[in-house]
């Protein structure tokens, strides 16, 4: 899904002034991180750790589990492909609409994929279950107790992608719950937490047996030196990367209310982004109009499984930028 991913700023050069296509916090001051990376730049003359054990230990210490339960990967997508590889030729159940990389990873390894609309539709023969929570693109958070109950009743692995966990006030799974469950694979992302998508730093938390299996499917030196150094630096800098989930959620709800008044359907969202459906017309046309006339970038969501050409996704920014988005869409609609 490389060509259909959000945050495709590289397509538009300097045209974009307001980026609503990415779900992560914007306007982040990375000057401290940049200075740190400059100070360790000489390390690029040597190979990184074959596996990023120093960063895994740092993450484990921060979240309160053993380092043996943590596997750092080259972005969360790397973890998805490793897990799919472990279940080569098996059956995956994917709750939709959701992040396309799950099905792309599964298809790369010959999975039989069953798309479901709810947890209740997952059949007993699924070897692997994929859930995004909060769900991308809808922003909905599934009840944590339902996920734990699903895992308890199944022998299959339950992959729970919590990349956006810091963007919601709803209760989500804890790392210790994933470790204790024996069959939950909890995926997380320093990319989303600290707004560094260019560095590709993801990780999973799971029981030691699952962690060992996922680690074994990775290539040596999969995580580069600068990513490792950045990850260790960022884990100590939460105060520089504050995510105001409450305000961002309130702004997302305000956007939804404004768009609904124009006849645009909006998903129930528990976080900072929401899925929207035009009453008519194509999201791709709206996207082009907003870029060309207002310097605004949104996410055309028509390539998510089960969605059509009318769907798009937006993530709330500050109130002023959100007003600009609302007025620009109002102009296109009228």
In the predicted model, what is the mean pLDDT of the chain? 95
Tokens of 60: 């484990």
Residue 6's pLDDT is 56
Mean pLDDT of 270-284: 97
Q: How far apart are CA 122 and CA 170, in angstroms?
A: 24
Give me the residue label for tokens 């109950």: 149
CB 225 within 8 A of CB 197: no
Residue 204's pLDDT is 98
No. of helices (H) and no. of strands (E), the chain: 12, 13
What's the pLDDT band for 29 if we cut at 50, 70, 90?
very high
Tokens of 235: 């884990």
Q: How far apart are CA 134 and CA 160, in angstroms?
A: 10
pLDDT digits (tens, 9 = 90+) for 167-221: 999 999 999 999 999 999 999 999 999 999 999 999 999 999 999 999 999 999 9
Q: How far apart are CA 228 and CA 211, in angstroms?
A: 19
Q: How much is the pTM?
A: 0.94
Tell me: pLDDT of 94 over 70.
Answer: yes
Tell me: pLDDT of 3 over 60.
Answer: no
Q: What percent of the chain has pLDDT over 70?
A: 97
Residue 334's pLDDT is 86
Tokens of 263: 């006849």
Grouping H, G, I as helix, E, B as strand and the rest as coil, residue 277 is strand
Residue 5's pLDDT is 55
Residue 9's pLDDT is 67
Using a 10 angstrom Cβ sphere, with 0-12 exposed, 13-18 middle and 19 or more buried, the burial of residue 193 is: buried
Tell me: pLDDT of 73 over 60.
Answer: yes
Tokens of 76: 């969360």
Tell me: pLDDT of 288 over 60.
Answer: yes
Please name the residues in contact with 325: beta carbons below 8 A apart, sequence gap of 6 or more. 18, 20, 255, 290, 296, 298, 314, 317
**CA 123 remoteness from chain centre:** 25
Tokens of 79: 């973890």
pLDDT digits (tens, 9 = 90+) for 323-333: 999 999 999 99
Residue 7's pLDDT is 59
């Amino acid at each position: 899904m490389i060509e259909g991913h959000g945050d495709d700023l590289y397509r538009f050069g300097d045209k974009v002034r307001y980026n609503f296509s990415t779900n992560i916090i914007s306007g982040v001051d990375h000057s401290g991180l940049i200075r740190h990376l400059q100070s360790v730049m000489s390390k690029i003359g040597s190979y990184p750790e074959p596996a990023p054990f120093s960063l895994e230990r740092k993450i484990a210490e921060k979240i309160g589990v053993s380092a043996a339960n943590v596997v750092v990967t080259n972005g969360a997508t790397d973890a998805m492909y490793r897990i799919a590889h472990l279940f080569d030729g098996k059956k995956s159940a994917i709750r939709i609409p959701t992040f396309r990389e799950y099905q792309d990873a599964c298809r790369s390894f010959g999975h039989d994929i069953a798309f479901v609309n709810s947890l209740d539709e997952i059949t007993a023969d699924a070897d692997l279950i994929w859930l995004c929570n909060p769900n991308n693109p809808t922003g909905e958070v599934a009840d944590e107790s339902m996920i734990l109950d699903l895992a308890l009743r199944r022998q299959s692995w339950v992959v729970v992608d919590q990349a956006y966990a810091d963007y919601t006030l709803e209760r989500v799974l804890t790392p210790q719950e994933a470790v204790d469950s024996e069959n939950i694979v909890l995926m997380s992302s320093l990319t989303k937490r600290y707004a560094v998508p260019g560095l590709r730093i993801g990780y999973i938390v799971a029981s030691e047996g699952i962690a060992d299996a996922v680690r074994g499917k990775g290539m040596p030196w999969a995580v580069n030196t600068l990513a490792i150094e950045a990850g260790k630096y960022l884990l100590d800098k939460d105060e520089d990367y504050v995510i105001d989930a409450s305000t961002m959620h309130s702004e997302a709800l305000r956007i939804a209310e404004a768009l609904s008044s124009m006849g645009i359907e909006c998903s129930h969202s528990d976080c900072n982004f929401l899925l929207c459906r035009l009453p008519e017309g194509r999201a791709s046309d709206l996207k082009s109009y907003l870029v060309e006339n207002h310097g605004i970038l949104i996410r055309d969501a028509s390539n998510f499984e089960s969605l059509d050409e009318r769907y798009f996704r937006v993530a709330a920014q500050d109130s002023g930028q959100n007003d600009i988005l609302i007025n620009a869409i109002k102009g296109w609609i009228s």
